[in-house]
Amino acid sequence: MNAKVKEYIEHLQANLTRWESLLIDELRRIVEFRFHPEVDLLHFEFFDDSTAEPSFPFFLYAYRKKDGPQDYGTPMPNARTVFESPPDTPYFSGWLHLLDGHQQSLVETETWERYAEETDYEIAGPESDIIHAWFVECWKSMDGPKHPISTYLIRVYSDQADDGFDLRNLSPVQWADIWS
């Protein structure tokens, strides 16, 4: 890893440390939701696009497996596979942007642009791996793997899903296996 990439990663890690308690609190809030009884799959998406301005890139979607996966383009609100319960029910369903309403840059835009240009976007792979690992560690620290609904973390780059990560078993999983 070149020195500029290493310097950027150290900066990113310092910022993630500052965000950690906010993310853990948000994850605790989510696992306490009353999910609609038909929701049997939770899917956190991590938007991994180092060609865009850095932001807090995590969303949560609630699904029913029987609906099957959407042809993968990023699931959007009211997509056919996101399970939405009637609005007058006491259950959570649908989707949400994690930490919505907070200042959402993981790295200051100017810092990110400078490092991205100086490293010819070599920061993309290490950046993605560190953010992914950080999310998983936050999930583990608040006993997320004990959540009763199957829960996954999926990296998305340019509207293409990477294979996922099973947040219950803490192991990689194939995209197709999530829906089986």
Give the list of residues 6+ apart from residue 163 with CB closer than 8 angstroms, or none.
172, 173, 174, 175
Query: How do residues 72-117 score in pLDDT, each as one tens digit?
Result: 444 433 334 566 777 777 888 888 888 765 545 666 667 777 777 7
CA distances from 92 to 20, 74, 122 (A): 24, 20, 39
Matching residue, tokens 């100017």: 110
pLDDT of residue 28: 95
Report how far Cα 37 is from the mean position of its chain's Cα atoms. 23
pLDDT of residue 71: 46
Query: How do residues 51-66 score in pLDDT, each as one tens digit?
Result: 444 556 788 988 887 7
Does the structure show a pLDDT above 60 at 69?
A: no
pTM listed for this prediction: 0.81
Does the structure show a pLDDT above 90 at 139?
A: yes
- Return mean pLDDT, the chain: 78
The residue with greater pLDDT, 148 or 90, is 148
Does the structure show a pLDDT above 70 at 180?
A: yes
Query: Do residues 40 and 148 make contact, with C-beta atoms less than 8 angstroms apart?
Result: no
Mean pLDDT value across residues 151-173: 81
